[in-house]
């Protein structure tokens, strides 16, 4: 009996765990250990932290792109809205197609025109843009006669306003082809216009209705913006 116990104790003492696993786990089960090792690597805290940082960076990049896109969209919409409001209520641009205002304005000049809302702001000599019912288009001329004025355009080319000769430094060539004087009496709330190029301007002298109502005046020409070598404010 004692020998038997001793033998059992010896066996327990010599039991080797590594040897047991070496003998009982064959190669066909080794992939399980490898899979376990791979799983441990994939779910390790450091790996998850790196992936989390990568996802956050990707999210920030997407968020930044969308944010920038929205900012650009808002800027463009705001610019278009401001441009529309300015063009609607303050300023608009016109193109000069003829020589009727030469030398003040030349063909292909482009101008900024300020909207006209107050009839009291109109002064003799202003260059105005207005709509002609007779021609069904916008025209640009210099206002010569204000409401109530008496205008005489002499055959010599001189212009008299209320009996006084009008000094016109902007007229280079007077129209001396007329054979008689033309006389006009400007009605209330209407205006009389002439082109600076008197020899080549279809204006109040020749219209069926020589006068333009205030409601048809669109604005005052302020500045030449193109060509660049002609940029200047108008007198």
In a domain, 137, yes or no: yes
Which domain, by its residues, includes 222?
91-233
pLDDT score at 69: 83
Whole-model pTM above 0.85?
no
Of 53, 88, 141, 235, which residue is the catalytic one? Answer: 141
pLDDT tens for residues 47-102? Answer: 655 566 566 666 565 667 788 888 888 888 877 777 766 666 689 999 999 999 99
In a domain, 125, yes or no: yes
In a domain, 133, yes or no: yes
In a domain, 164, yes or no: yes
In a domain, 28, yes or no: no
pLDDT score at 63: 66
pLDDT score at 66: 82
Of 11, 46, 100, 204, which residue is the catalytic one? Answer: 100
Asked whether 180 and 161 are in contact (CB, 8 A), the reply is no
In a domain, 10, yes or no: no
Task: Name the token pair of 44.
Answer: 């390790």
In a domain, 155, yes or no: yes
What CATH number has the domain bearing residue 208?
A: 2.10.109.10
pLDDT score at 173: 84
162-181 b/e (C-beta count within 10 Å ≥ 16 → b): eeeebebeebeeebeeeeee
- Total domains, the chain: 1
pLDDT score at 71: 84
Establish whether 141 is a catalytic residue: yes
pLDDT score at 53: 57
pLDDT score at 107: 96
pLDDT tens, per residue, the chain with 235 residues: 444 444 444 444 444 545 544 455 444 444 444 444 443 344 455 665 556 656 666 656 566 778 888 888 888 887 777 776 666 668 999 999 999 999 999 999 999 999 988 999 999 999 999 999 999 999 999 999 999 999 999 999 999 999 999 999 999 888 888 889 999 999 999 999 999 999 999 999 999 999 999 999 999 999 999 999 999 999 7
Establish whether 100 is a catalytic residue: yes
HSE (CB half, 13 Å, CA atoms) of 61? 6
pLDDT score at 25: 45
In a domain, 7, yes or no: no
């Amino acid at each position: 009996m004692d020998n038997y116990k001793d033998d059992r104790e010896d066996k327990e003492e010599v039991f080797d765990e590594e040897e047991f696993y070496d003998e009982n786990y064959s190669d066909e089960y080794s992939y399980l250990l490898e899979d376990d090792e791979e799983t441990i690597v994939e779910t390790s805290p450091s790996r998850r932290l790196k992936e989390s940082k990568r996802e956050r960076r990707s999210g920030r990049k997407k968020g930044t792109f969308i944010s920038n896109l929205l900012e650009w969209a808002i800027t463009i919409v705001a610019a278009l809205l401001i441009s529309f409001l300015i063009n609607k209520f303050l300023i608009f641009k016109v193109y000069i197609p003829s020589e009727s205002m030469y030398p003040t304005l030349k063909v292909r000049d482009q101008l900024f025109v300020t909207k006209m809302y107050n009839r009291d702001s109109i002064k003799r000599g202003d260059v105005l843009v207005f709509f002609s019912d007779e021609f069904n288009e916008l025209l640009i001329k210099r206002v010569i006669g204000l409401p109530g004025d008496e205008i005489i355009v002499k055959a010599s080319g001189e212009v008299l306003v209320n009996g006084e000769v009008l000094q016109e430094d902007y007229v280079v060539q007077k129209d001396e082809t007329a054979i008689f004087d033309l006389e006009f009496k400007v009605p209330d709330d209407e205006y009389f216009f002439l082109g600076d190029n008197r020899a080549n301007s279809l204006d109040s002298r020749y219209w069926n209705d020589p006068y333009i109502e205030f409601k048809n005046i669109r604005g005052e020409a302020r500045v030449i913006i193109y060509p660049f070598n002609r940029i200047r404010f108008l007198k």
